[in-house]
Amino acid sequence: MIGSTSELRSKRRIVQMLMVSVSGLCTLALPQVAHAADPAVATTPDTTNTGGEILVTARKEKESLQEVPVTVSVVDKKTISEYHIEHVADVAERVPTLQVQVGGSGSGGSLTLRGIGSSAISAAFDSAVAFDYDGVQVSTMRMVQVGFFDTQQVEVLKGPQSLYFGKSASGGVLAINSADPTRTWEAEARASYEFAEHGTLFGGHVSGPLTDTLGIRVAAQYNDITHYVELDPTTPAVNKNRGLKDFVGRLTLAWDPSPNFTANFKFQYTGSTNNGAIAQSAIDCGPNGQPDPVWLFSGAVVFPAGYGCNSNNGKYYLPDTTPALAASVPKPSAAVGYNGVPFGYTDLYFARLKMEYKFSDTLKLTSTSGFVDLNAQDVDNYSYGGVGPAYSPVAAALGMTSAAFFAANFPALAATNGVGIPGGVGTSDPVNKLQQYTQELRLTSNFKGPINFMLGAYYENRWIEFRTSQNAVNISLIAPDPVTGYTWDYTKDQITKASADSFFGSLSYKPTDQIELSGGVRYTNEVKRSDIDIPYMHAFLVAAGFAPSGFNSGEIRFQDSNWSPEVTLKYKPAPNFNIFASLKTGFKSGGIDNSALPSNQLLGFGSSDPAVRAATAAGLIFRSEKAKGGEIGFKSELADRTVTLNATAFYYVINGLQVQNFNPQTVQFETLNAGQATTAGLDVETKWRTPVPGLMFSGNLTYLDAKYTADFITPGPDGVLGTADDINLHGRALANAPHWSGNVAFDYVAEVGGGLKLGLGGNVKYSGSYFTNNATFTDYVQNPFATVDARISIGPDNDRWSLAVVGTDINGKIYTINSGGRPFLAPANTLGVPVGDDIILNQNQGRQVFLEAKLRF
């Protein structure tokens, strides 16, 4: 979406930069255009060759998975298509220790690998597991919410990958590579229906050569899920079933005008709508075993929770906004007129231009330009509970009825309070906007001698807006703002401008066919500038000392630079056996917090003392995250290459691990840097092409020991560091770090006569127990679990059509990915209300069963 004139100018500048990049390299290629075109190279080839060898880009060049000295898990095109792997969360079923959270406020999602990740509740954190989309590193984790499709393969690189993957890859890389144009014309149509969530999907592609030198691929997919989040029938909400609709369309052009020059352009639009940002989020009733009420104004107003204590039945309790708060939203906001009913939308534009020019057979220049434009907004209620009528323990202590007390002190609530009214509070309407331009240049050699090199430069420019109106205090339960009539507490608009300059170089030395020594270093300098505007503040809160309407914080600045070296030794004692050892480092820049609940910030900025305002600004800055360590492993093909067996032992230390927790009593986010975390373990991967024609087995197993290995002080219940209730997590395991995890899969294809073939397949994923939060020693623990996927298909030998039934998590196992305290819990009090301890559990989708048909032309 194009908004202001300044946004239009910004987009025009980015397009001009892309065109300059195109014209520059095309000029180099022009002398070669007259060369006779070869139809065999008119389009970009697949990433897997016809012999079944898997090619990866772990070092930014296509290399055999079995030859590259990097720990990589690959989910191939066949698996992606056959098991409906269309969201990032689905990839976790095939990659042990990969955890994906989708939805909610803040960044909108998170990736965790080997226990290292970045909180989903912070929109300011870059992801420790870098998200690479068709060669472009995308900073926003809103990408994990939208579907992907027509995908060639997914690569998951484990451990720090700073040398080859831009910046912020301290925990690993998840790379999605979409399909390219084919050498001959083909088309495919696909339709499916999912029974559990009532989802209908239509999609397909057309691909082929337009000319001898130009290939095209057009692909699109529409998905409509009506029961994406199924609410408990008693929930006071208009939409008892939260739906999700998304459309993805992509155009790919591959141009190969000469032997020396190729260009590949991708443009994708993703549009998504939903009935609220919160996805599958259940409530655990905690040690006290009862649903805790929604506690407001020190107990002056309390809403009954409304939900029960069954957190694993796949039914969720997400009430609409209570009427007294839903009446009038600060403008401008898409939430105006929504009347308290949650909703959300995302518009995402992505473009990538990759060009390669060969100066000779031994020297190649690669340019990768990337552009991302994101505009997303949602409205939801972060009390996760609440149903009328509200009551008042304070009134009872004073010997008054709740009705009389509310009439005297909370007239807006009194006017709407009633049996069964929605009690959703803590409402927020965050707008997330991102414009990102990246440019990478790489010069790569391919000499016949023992020494080769890669030199490169990377530039990233980001403009990030996080704007939200919010009810954190819920002050309009007393009365709307007397000046504007708005029933929300405040509006906060924070704009961050970030730029990164990075230079890298690697050198490989191969004295014999058996030995390769490679290494390099990346230098990164990153600058972030942020300012906070408060265009609106409820008059009652201004009187209480919060920042006044119209306040601006002034520029808050963060800058850091880093050298990230690595070195790898590879030894090949036999043709199908490789041993490698690596020493690696990683870096993820710090920044400036932009939490959605900045109540303490707004108080500090409201001070008339410049020193207090400066200290408030300084308190928003979090430090950079750095990793160092190494791994040793082997890759082998045995039994006439019918068995693949790979294993890697790893050990990494992460200093300054960026952590954000939520304190439910103070209703505040806590942004912290852990002193030190260590992740160590063993990855094993195997595949077996059995003597039975068409039958293959595969499996992964990971042992992981990830924990805090230095002091990490987190605030206790009072939410303040430096007090007696502080907690030191030294020695505790990291969240999302099971000791044992893995999967076993099989695929079988058999001829059944009449020109037909039958396909069978299955996958069992296992995970040991793990903590789901990084706040205390008593954080919620997910017990060991297993999920089962299965499929059966029928179709002709020529693959012209197929029918399939696919089940994911067919045993219906609901498990928790991460957790946190539910907002608005009662603290210790003298009003007879138990101390609240309910916990939000962010869970997986659960069982899905698809009936699918495909038709190929």
Judged against a pLDDT cut of 80, whether residue 10 lies above it is answered with no
Question: Burial letters for 263-279: b for 16+ Cβ neighbours within 10 Å, e otherwise?
Answer: bbbbebbbbbbbbbbbb
- What pLDDT sits at residue 25? 34
- What pLDDT sits at residue 99? 86
The token pair at 544 is 């209480």
Judged against a pLDDT cut of 70, whether residue 384 lies above it is answered with yes
- What pLDDT sits at residue 333? 82
Judged against a pLDDT cut of 50, whether residue 254 lies above it is answered with yes
Identify the band that residue 108 occupies on the pLDDT scale cut at 50, 70 and 90: low
Q: Where are the beta strands (DSSP E) in 146-196?
A: 151-158, 172-178, 186-194
Question: Burial letters for 166-175: b for 16+ Cβ neighbours within 10 Å, e otherwise?
Answer: bbbbbbbbbb
Q: CA-CA distance, 84 to 82, in Å (whole number)? A: 6
At residue 27, the 3 state secondary structure works out as helix
Q: Give the percent of the chain with pLDDT over 70.
A: 91
CA distances from 705 to 137, 673, 708 (A): 29, 20, 10
How far from chain centre, in Å, is Cα 580? 30
Judged against a pLDDT cut of 70, whether residue 798 lies above it is answered with yes
Average pLDDT over residues 481-486: 94
Identify the band that residue 291 occupies on the pLDDT scale cut at 50, 70 and 90: very high
Average pLDDT over residues 760-770: 97
Identify the band that residue 599 occupies on the pLDDT scale cut at 50, 70 and 90: low
More confident residue, 34 or 831: 831
Identify the band that residue 358 occupies on the pLDDT scale cut at 50, 70 and 90: very high
Judged against a pLDDT cut of 80, whether residue 596 lies above it is answered with no
Average pLDDT over residues 591-605: 73
Judged against a pLDDT cut of 80, whether residue 668 lies above it is answered with no
Judged against a pLDDT cut of 50, whether residue 43 lies above it is answered with no
State which of 74-88, 180-194, 550-564, 661-675 shows the largest mean pLDDT: 180-194
Classify residue 289 by burial, with Cβ atoms within 10 Å: 0-12, 13-18, 19+: exposed
Judged against a pLDDT cut of 80, whether residue 20 lies above it is answered with no
Query: What phi, psi does 502 have (nearest 5°)?
Result: -145, 140
The pTM (predicted TM-score) of the whole model is 0.89
Average pLDDT over residues 684-705: 96
Residue-averaged pLDDT of the chain: 89
- Single-letter code of the amino acid located at 729: L
- What pLDDT sits at residue 36? 32
Give bridge partners of residue 193 from the DSSP assignment.
Answer: 200, 851
Judged against a pLDDT cut of 60, whether residue 522 lies above it is answered with yes
Q: CA-CA distance, 576 to 567, in Å (whole number)? A: 23
Q: CA-CA distance, 702 to 779, in Å (whole number)? A: 23
CA distances from 498 to 137, 143, 433 (A): 14, 19, 14
Q: CA-CA distance, 253 to 257, in Å (whole number)? A: 12
Q: Look at the block and give the residue holding tokens 């195997």.
A: 686
The token pair at 682 is 């063993």
Identify the band that residue 75 occupies on the pLDDT scale cut at 50, 70 and 90: very high
Query: What phi, psi does 265 have (nearest 5°)?
Result: -120, 135
At residue 538, the 3 state secondary structure works out as coil
Region of poorest pLDDT, from 36-50, 546-560, 673-687, 707-721 = 36-50
Task: Look at the chain and count its residues.
Answer: 857
Among 342, 150, 373, 344, CA closest to 245: 344
- What pLDDT sits at residue 221? 95
Region of poorest pLDDT, from 83-97, 390-404, 510-524 = 83-97
Q: Per-residue pLDDT tens for 610-638?
A: 888 888 888 888 899 999 999 999 999 99
- What domains are defined for the chain? 5-387+422-856 (2.40.170.20)
Identify the band that residue 107 occupies on the pLDDT scale cut at 50, 70 and 90: low
Judged against a pLDDT cut of 70, whether residue 16 lies above it is answered with no
Query: What phi, psi does 789 have (nearest 5°)?
Result: -115, 150
Judged against a pLDDT cut of 70, whether residue 835 lies above it is answered with yes
H or E stretch at 221: strand 214-230
DSSP secondary structure string for all residues of 566-592: EEEEEEEEETTEEEEEEEEEEEE--EE
How far from chain centre, in Å, is Cα 96? 17
